[in-house]
Amino acid sequence: MPGKADTDDWRVERGEQIQFQSSIYSHHQPWRCGVGENASKSSSADQLNGSIVNGITRSETNDKSGEGVAKEYQNIKHAVLSTPFTMDKHLAPNPQMELVGHSVVLTSPYSDAQHGQILTTYGQQVMINPQLYGMYHARMPLPPEMEEEPVYVNAKQYHGILRRRQSRAKAELEKKVIKNRKPYLHESRHLHAMRRARGNGGRFLNKKKLENYNSDATSDIGQNTGANPSTNSPNTQHLFTNNENLGSSNASQATVQDMHRVESFNIGYHNGNGLAELYHSQANGKKEGNCFGKERDPNNGAFK
Amino acid sequence: MMDNVGGSSSNIAENSGIIREQDRLLPIANVGKIMKQILPPNAKISKESKETMQECVSEFISFVTSEASEKCRKERRKTVNGDDICWALGSLGFDDYAEPLRRYLQRYREQELDRANNPPKRG
């Protein structure tokens, strides 16, 4: 009996949601009626997400009635305003769009579990707060961009997602967003790392191992004399190893830029937690390494 | 010398028109450390996982911040403060995060008051 009742409630909620959506779109945008029809057609798929929808619907019972109504109007207005964005999106499709839908979908199950716990704790509030008509449409279909089917998202996040899509599209047009990641941020540090001595497995040699390596080696390795004596953490070694494997190189940069970026780099480390001091000391060590690198230039010239 | 000069000029031109990675994303090492806090000591995290989480958390920050910024724009304010972030989390449906963050913000402000009233001694 309880399970059957839940199923009936879910069906009623879905029906009202579809009706409400169709009424909204019929008033403002004729072509949005198609979206409503798609929603009705994909009812079988929605059944799989029924638990998620019910969970989010229950969570909204705790919201204030005024905020709910006002937010619904905002959503409607923004839906109308999003029409030129849709046209713009067709001109410049954004590959990150799917990431938003994906992340939103991933968020729902977790929030569903949390809201279930809230219901257990605040059972009385649920009884006290009357459910509004607006609470039934917890899911709103985003305007379809590249997907074949509409992506349903939390109604509260609807206009926020559209705004972020506009921001990313604008950034795409005005500036070129880096899609391929650089293997490293600073050319000078990369060059220094490439010059350091490496042992088995590609890890850097510390001071003791370097002495053993020099004593064992028959040939004289002059390039390794300026190696950084400080001990590096495994993470740092791993990062440098990746740099070597990638093997890509960029043109050299101006000294002023290097200094500026080093400062920003240190600022980033200061924001960290207790390990900031350790990394700061390592950064100083790296600077010293750069000095050694500069001193080696005459030697390199001599070799040439 | 000529190669270096050409390289630096091309880099300057390139950087002016590109949103740099370090401006768009959180540092990947910090993301990895935060992910490691919740895992057992011997667990390992692949670089792909860190990069994916880096993209997700950076987008989430922009998502919440744009909601707070929109509220400030409507109220004709220029500074986004902690209360705006808490409000934005609530309005986007992240109520479970908004409440702990309000308590955190309250304690943070109390701590700042203590610092202001009891400045550390010099020398």
Q: So what's the pLDDT on residue A176?
A: 53
Question: How deeply is A68 buried, as exposed, middle or buried, from its count of CB atoms within 10 A (0-12, 13-18, 19+)?
Answer: middle
Give the H/E segment covering residue A152.
Answer: strand A152-154
Q: What average pLDDT score do residues B98-112 get?
A: 86
Q: So what's the pLDDT on residue A177?
A: 56
Q: How far apart are CA A143 and CA A161, in angstroms?
A: 11
User: Measured between CB atoms, does B114 come within 8 Å of chain A?
Assistant: no
Q: Which residues pair with A141 in a beta bridge?
A: A152
Task: Please judge whether A163 and B92 are an interchain contact, meaning their C-beta atoms are less than 8 angstroms apart.
Answer: no
Chain A residues with a Cβ under 8 Å from any Cβ in chain B: 56, 59, 62, 67, 71, 96, 99-100, 103, 111, 114, 118, 154, 156-157, 160-161, 163-164, 167, 171, 175-178, 181-182, 185, 235, 239, 242, 250-254, 257, 264, 268, 271-273, 275
Out of 1.10.1660.10, 2.170.8.10, 3.60.15.10, 1.10.20.10, the CATH code matching B22-115 is 1.10.20.10
Model pLDDT for residues A177-235, shown as the tens digit of each residue: 555 566 777 778 888 888 788 787 887 877 666 666 666 554 444 444 444 344 433 43
Is A25's pLDDT higher than 60? no
Radius of gyration of chain A (CA): 29
**Nearest CA to CA, how far is B74 from chain A (Å)?**
13
Q: What average pLDDT score do residues B26-37 get?
A: 89
Is B92's pLDDT higher than 50? yes
Q: B10: which chain A residues are within 8 Å (Cβ-Cβ)?
A: 251
Q: How far apart are CA B36 and CA B30, in angstroms?
A: 10
Q: What average pLDDT score do residues A62-81 get?
A: 39
Residues within 8 A of A (CB atoms), B 24-63 only: 24, 27, 29-30, 32-33, 47, 51, 55-56, 59-60, 62-63
Residue ranges covered by each domain of chain B: 22-115
Residues 6+ apart with CB under 8 A from A46: A14, A39, A53, A152
Q: So what's the pLDDT on residue A256?
A: 39
Q: Please give the residue that has the higher pLDDT: either A58 or B27.
A: B27
Q: Please give the residue that has the higher pLDDT: either A159 or A108.
A: A159
Q: So what's the pLDDT on residue A190?
A: 86
Question: How deeply is B101 buried, as exposed, middle or buried, from its count of CB atoms within 10 A (0-12, 13-18, 19+)?
Answer: middle
Comparing C-alpha atoms, which of A19, A283, A226 is closest to residue A136? Answer: A19
Question: What single-letter amino acid sits at A158?
Answer: Y
Q: So what's the pLDDT on residue B63?
A: 93
Q: What average pLDDT score do residues B35-54 get?
A: 88
Q: A154: which chain B residues are within 8 Å (Cβ-Cβ)?
A: 92-93
Picking from A121, A159, A252 by the largest number of B CB atoms within 10 A of its own CB, the best residue to mutate is A252
Question: What single-letter amino acid sits at B33?
Answer: K
Comparing C-alpha atoms, which of B51, B109, B31 is closest to residue A272? Answer: B31
Q: So what's the pLDDT on residue A208?
A: 67
Buried b (16+ CB within 10 A) or exposed e, A260-295: ebbeebeebbeebeeeeeebeebeeebeebbeebee
Is B53's pLDDT higher than 70? yes
Out of A166-175, B3-12, B36-45, the most confident range is B36-45
Q: How far apart are CA A202 and CA A82, in angstroms?
A: 53
User: Measured between CB atoms, does B13 come within 8 Å of chain A?
Assistant: no
Q: What percent of chain A has pLDDT over 90?
A: 1
- Distance separating the N- and C-terminal Cα atoms of chain B: 50
Q: So what's the pLDDT on residue B86?
A: 93
Q: Please give the residue that has the higher pLDDT: either A239 or B70.
A: B70
**Nearest CA to CA, how far is A105 from chain B (Å)?**
13
Comparing C-alpha atoms, which of A232, A266, A250 is closest to residue B7? Answer: A250
The token duo for A15 is 């029906």
Model pLDDT for residues A276-301, shown as the tens digit of each residue: 334 333 343 333 333 333 333 343 34
Task: Please judge whether A114 and B96 are an interchain contact, meaning their C-beta atoms are less than 8 angstroms apart.
Answer: yes
Q: Which residue has the tokens 């004729």?
A: A30
**Biggest alpha carbon–alpha carbon distance for chain A:** 90
Q: Please give the residue that has the higher pLDDT: either B64 or A59.
A: B64
Q: B92: which chain A residues are within 8 Å (Cβ-Cβ)?
A: 154, 156-157, 160
Model pLDDT for residues A114-170, shown as the tens digit of each residue: 333 333 433 333 343 343 434 444 666 766 655 557 888 889 888 899 888 888 887
Position B76 confidence tier, pLDDT thresholds 50, 70, 90:
confident
Task: Please judge whether A235 and B32 are an interchain contact, meaning their C-beta atoms are less than 8 angstroms apart.
Answer: yes
Between chain A and chain B, the number of residue pairs with CB atoms below 8 A apart is 95
Give the closest of B32, B47, B92 to A157, CB-based. B92
- Taking CA atoms, B64 is separated from A9, A39, A149, B83, in Å, by 33, 28, 26, 12
**Nearest CA to CA, how far is A102 from chain B (Å)?**
10
Q: What average pLDDT score do residues A58-81 get?
A: 38
Helix ranges (H only) for A178-232 are 187-195, 207-216
Q: So what's the pLDDT on residue A50?
A: 39
The token duo for A39 is 């929603």
Q: So what's the pLDDT on residue A281?
A: 38
Is B73's pLDDT higher than 50? yes
Give the closest of A99, A176, A185 to B17, CB-based. A176
Picking from A156, A184, A242, A261 by the largest number of B CB atoms within 10 A of its own CB, the best residue to mutate is A156
